[in-house]
Amino acid sequence: MIAGITYWQFYFRLFPGTVKGPQIVAFLKALKRQIGRKLLIVWDGLGVHKSRLVREYVESLDGQIAIEFLPAYAPELNPTEYVWGYLKHHELANLCVKTLAELSPIARNRLRAMQRRPKLIAAFWKQAELPL
Into how many domains does the chain fold? 1
Burial of 51 (0-12, 13-18, 19+ CB in 10 A): middle
Of 79, 92, 76, whose CA–CA distance to 120 is shortest?
79
In CATH, what number is assigned to the domain containing residue 71? Answer: 3.30.420.10
With contact defined as beta carbons under 8 Å apart, do 111 and 5 qualify?
Answer: no
The angle subtended at Cα 15 by Cα 93 and Cα 110, nearest 5°, is 35
Amino acid 116: pLDDT: 96
Print the domain residue range for 121: 2-128
Amino acid 129: pLDDT: 83
Tell me how far apart the alpha carbons of residues 48 and 98 are, in angstroms, rounded to a whole number.
Answer: 29
- Residues in CB range of 2: below 8 A, 6 or more apart: 12, 13, 15, 19, 23, 24, 27
pLDDT tens series, the chain, 132 aa: 999 999 899 999 999 889 999 999 999 999 999 999 999 999 998 999 999 999 999 999 999 999 999 998 888 999 999 999 999 999 999 999 999 899 999 999 999 999 999 999 999 999 998 766
Tell me how far apart the alpha carbons of residues 100 and 117 are, in angstroms, rounded to a whole number.
Answer: 26
Q: What is the pTM of this model?
A: 0.88
The angle subtended at Cα 98 by Cα 102 and Cα 91, nearest 5°, is 60
Tell me how far apart the alpha carbons of residues 13 and 70 are, in angstroms, rounded to a whole number.
Answer: 21
